[in-house]
C-alpha cells in the first residue's frame, strides 16, 4: 500500500472554464507528480496539466516566456518550450502601432 498523499486542485495552465480537476503529489514546496482528478466533471486534463511541475519549477520560468514550439495544427501540437528571447523583446515584436 502506498503512503503517498495527493492534494486536489485545478489546473490553471489555460483559460478553460471551468478548469480541469487535478491532484498532485508534493515533496516540500515542489510538486513532483500530477494526476487526473477522476471524479471531477472536467476530467481528464490535457498534457499541459501533466507538465505543470516542469513548468513551475523550471529555473528560467520567470525570465523567459513559455511558447508553443509546434504549430497548433500539427498532429502533435502540445510542444511547449521556453523561448530564448526576453519577454520585453517579444512584447515589442508583437506591438502594433
In the complex, the residues that contact ligand SF4 under the rule CB under 6 A are 11, 13-14, 16, 19-20, 45-46, 48-49
In the complex with ligand SF4, the residue whose CB is nearer, 19 or 66, is: 19
In the complex with ligand SF4, the residue whose CB is nearer, 51 or 85, is: 51
DSSP code string of 38-91: TTSSS-S--HHHHTHHHHHT-TTTTTS-EEE-S-TTSSSTT-EEE-SS-HHHHH
In the complex with ligand SF4, the residue whose CB is nearer, 18 or 59, is: 18
Least spacing, CB of residue 63 vs ligand SF4, in Å = 22
Distance, CA of 71 to CA of 88 (rounded, Å): 23
Amino acid at each position: 500500500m502506498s503512503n503517498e498523499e495527493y492534494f486536489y486542485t485545478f489546473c490553471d495552465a489555460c483559460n478553460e472554464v471551468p478548469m480541469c480537476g487535478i491532484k498532485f503529489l508534493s515533496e516540500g514546496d515542489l510538486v513532483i507528480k500530477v494526476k487526473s482528478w477522476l471524479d471531477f466533471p472536467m476530467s481528464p486534463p490535457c498534457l499541459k496539466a501533466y507538465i505543470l511541475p516542469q513548468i513551475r519549477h523550471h529555473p528560467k520560468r520567470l525570465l523567459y516566456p513559455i511558447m508553443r514550439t509546434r504549430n497548433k495544427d500539427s498532429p502533435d501540437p502540445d510542444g511547449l518550450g521556453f523561448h530564448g528571447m526576453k519577454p520585453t523583446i517579444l512584447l515589442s515584436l508583437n506591438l502594433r502601432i
